[in-house]
Each structure stands twice: as structure tokens, then as C-alpha cells.
Amino acid sequence: MHQLRSNRSRSRSKRRAIYCPSHGCPLESVSCKHQLYADRAEQLQQRGMGRRTALTVIRTHTAVPITGEWLEAFWCPQCQEVTWYHVWLCNPDAVSHQRRQYVVRPAPQALWQQATGVIDPDGNPSVGEFTRTLARMTSYQGLKGFRFI
């Protein structure tokens, strides 16, 4: 609850409640958000979509943005290092920004293949492949009306 009362203003307009999983201290963002995409039905099913719908969506759109999830690099003053994290909003129904809660975990290798615009620290070539997939995307605006869990 302490984070809700903290009103120390920072240069960023909105302070997000994102904390180091090892130390619990606030993390400092050192990158922009890198949107994640799903290009397989299983990736949508993992997020609560029915199999039939997921297959139809992927067949129709090839790849779709996953709302409320992204990759972002953070600096932890206690870890003394920058780590890429998979961040997701765990209560998308939160009314206000202050009440939003985020969960982070070190970004697993597989997720790099679902992101665009990131510089893979390991030089994974599949990022490029996925960017080509996105280049074929239609002007799909996301899964409006569908709630990811």
C-alpha cells in the first residue's frame, strides 16, 4: 500500500508500480515499451481465448497485438544492472492508473520472438522473422471487445 501514498513527483507523468522481483524496490525504466504480438493460436489460448476463436483470429490476421503486456528494460539500483522484463497488467479492470498492478518476470527467450523493435541481447534472428510477419499484417487495430486475462 505504501506505493499508493507516495506522491513524490518525477519527471515522468505517470509513475507505474513496477518493482524488482528480487528486491521489491521501484524499478527505473530505461527503454520504451515493446509491444508483444501473438502469431499462434496457443498464445491466445494461454490468455483465455477459446481455441476456435483463437484459430480464427490467427488465420484471419496472422498476428495480433497482445494488450496489457510488453517487454521493457529496467534498472534496479540494488541489482546494479539492467534487466529486460516481461511486464503485464494483472488487473486491467482497475479504474484509475494508481490502482493498476503490474507483474514482471525476466523476459524468457521465447518472448523475444513475439516482440518488435527490440534489440535482442543475444542477437536472436527470429526477431527479424517476426518483424517480417508483422509487415504482412493488415491494419488490424487489436482485439477490441475481447478481454485478455
Kindly state the cell numbers that stand for 12.
515522468
Rounded to an integer, what distance in angstroms lies between the CA atom of residue 15 and that of residue 29? 10
C-alpha cell at 94: 482497475
Q: Is 76 in the site for Zn ion (CB under 5 A)?
A: yes
Is 60 a binding residue for Zn ion by CB under 5 A? The answer is: no
* Adjacent-strand bridge partners of 49: none
E-strand stretches of 33-98: 34-38, 64-76, 81-89
Instruction: By CB under 5 A, tell whether 73 contacts Zn ion.
Output: no
Residue 33, interface with Zn ion (CB under 5 A)?
A: no
Total residues belonging to the chain:
149
Query: Of 26 and 133, which has the nearer Cβ to Zn ion?
Result: 26
* By CB under 5 A, residue 20 contacts Zn ion: yes
Q: Tell me the sheet residues that pair with 71.
A: 34, 86
**CB of residue 29 to Zn ion, shortest distance in Å:** 14
Total interface residues for Zn ion by CB under 5 A? 6
With respect to Zn ion, which residue has the nearer C-beta, 18 or 63? 18
List residues near Zn ion by CB under 5 A: 20, 22-23, 76, 78-79
